[in-house]
Amino acid sequence: MGQPSVKVRIENLQPTASLLAEQVEAKLKVRYAVVLLLAVCLSMAAIACWEAWNSRQYHLHDKEVAMSNLAQTLAAQAQSTVKQADTLLFSLVDRLENDGMDPAQIPRLQRLLSAQRQELTQLHGLFIFDENGHWLANSNGANVPDANNSDREYFIFHRDHPDRGPHIGPSIKSRSTNEWIMTVSRRLNHPDGRFAGTAVATIYLSHFLSLYDSIDMGQNGAINLMADNGTIIVRRPFRETDIGTSVASGPLFTQLLPHASFGTATIKSVVDGVERVLGYRRVNGYPMVVSAALNKEEVLEAWRQESLNTAAIVALLLSFLGALGYRLIRVMRQQNHIQSELLGAQEKLLEVNRSLELLALEDALTGLANRRQFDLFMVAEMGRARRSQTGLALLMIDVDHFKLFNDHYGHVAGDVCLRQISAIISENIKRPGDLAVRYGGEEFAVVLPGTDYVGAFLVAEKIRRAVQLAGMEHSESTEGMVTVSLGVCAYDPASQAGADDLVSAADKALYVAKASGRNMSVIAN
């Protein structure tokens, strides 16, 4: 149905209801103030939590970057240490394979190994073993005629693999000095390519530990130098039981290294179960991996203290804000109590103004909207149609031969006829957003937002048939009863700039309907 009569709306407005509405509004303002205060407090708390979370992520990221840089430095140190030993081995293997390994050369070879060892303080020793694992020469001057190293991992590896590259073996205890060492070895070949023995350089694990211990890793940090198969070569903090332990099942080897040769992560150690912020990197040129990790709990300790300080400050501010807001709300409630006593007198004046405003938009005879309301409504709806690209249609309705009806039946009957037609139009407008208007005299208009010309034409025909079926007698009409003619027009933003253009188009369609015999609906071209 269309909009209800303005008179009905005025009659339904009671002073007590309006007064109650004002009082409810005043109470709502207090509630809004409470809600606003809570929203501000919650927002401050949320911002503090967000800042704390960002600070936490920053602390972790900062340590990840630091561990990544440290892992890069330690990997370069390990690569340099092994490279120096491997370079000696390479030249030693080349010399032995070219000059041979006759017993007469052993004393000279001993002196050479001793001199080369003196050049590199990280070296525990340089050793030459024959194809059976017997000691041929060493840099330490040890005389062990019955010693045999054929059971060592590096010897077995070179005996079974023809590869001429360097081999990094697991950390072991020296049989000559009982010190922990790591081995770098190369294969010796006979001229025909058969296995002739091994050349081995041993490096003190203490060489790495002295560097690792000088780095501040907190109370529970860890540095690992591992073979690429996951076996620990040396670890800080140093425990003999950790040497040779495999961490291949841990996330570093199962999740990280398969995808990147270096990076950072926060993972739990498979050695001691501690969650750490880790930086890792493969050693360039050698099958080793270096990792440096800080205990996550130690990393976040400074963040926790900072967050507690921030939380204390925020709590203090929230307490002050809460006290201030409580005082403000009390003042507002007192003002509302005073204001409620003034609303009674104001209500009557507002009611009169409201009634005058509503009457100014209503046609007194039919109760439909008048021309003023039509003009305002059209401007608003045309603007909405342009913005939202939705339809808008207009019906212009004219009572056929109404002047003859007035002349024959009198003006009182004419007014009754107009009221009946107004009621029929209102009954056939189903949507609350539609507007029925008495445009002037016996002419009416219907505005149909969100409707195209097809829908508007259906509404027009519905109104036309309803008027005809009402059977209001009109002896001066060719139909013998009151009928209406309708012009239908849909809004086109491209050709209709204003409301006058749309009205003009509908009027032209109405003129065609009347010129074509009346009692019909015509769509504007």
Residues recognised as catalytic: 442
Beta carbons of 82 and 203 less than 8 angstroms apart: yes
What are the b/e assignments for 247-267, b being 16+ CB within 10 Å?
A: beebbbbeebbeeeebbbbbb
State the Cα–Cα distance between residues 381 and 502, nearest whole angstrom. Answer: 12
What are the b/e assignments for 184-203, b being 16+ CB within 10 Å?
A: bbbbbbeeeeebbbbbbbbb
Q: Which residues contact 335 (CB under 8 A, 6 or more apart)?
A: none
Give the distance, in angstroms, between the CA of residue 504 and the centroid of all CA atoms in the same chain: 53
Length of the chain: 525
Helix (H) or strand (E) holding 253: none
List Cα–Cα distances, 483 to 248, 349, 394, 453, 480, in angstroms: 96, 45, 19, 22, 9
State the Cα–Cα distance between residues 470 and 405, nearest whole angstrom. Answer: 16
The DSSP symbol for 237 reads S
- Token pair listed for 30: 């207090």
Q: Return the percent helix, strand and coil in the chain, to nearest 5.
A: 55, 20, 25
- Token pair listed for 322: 């809460």
State the Cα–Cα distance between residues 104 and 107, nearest whole angstrom. Answer: 7
| Measured CA angle at 220 (ends 218, 222), to 5 deg | 90
| Measured CA angle at 149 (ends 146, 154), to 5 deg | 170
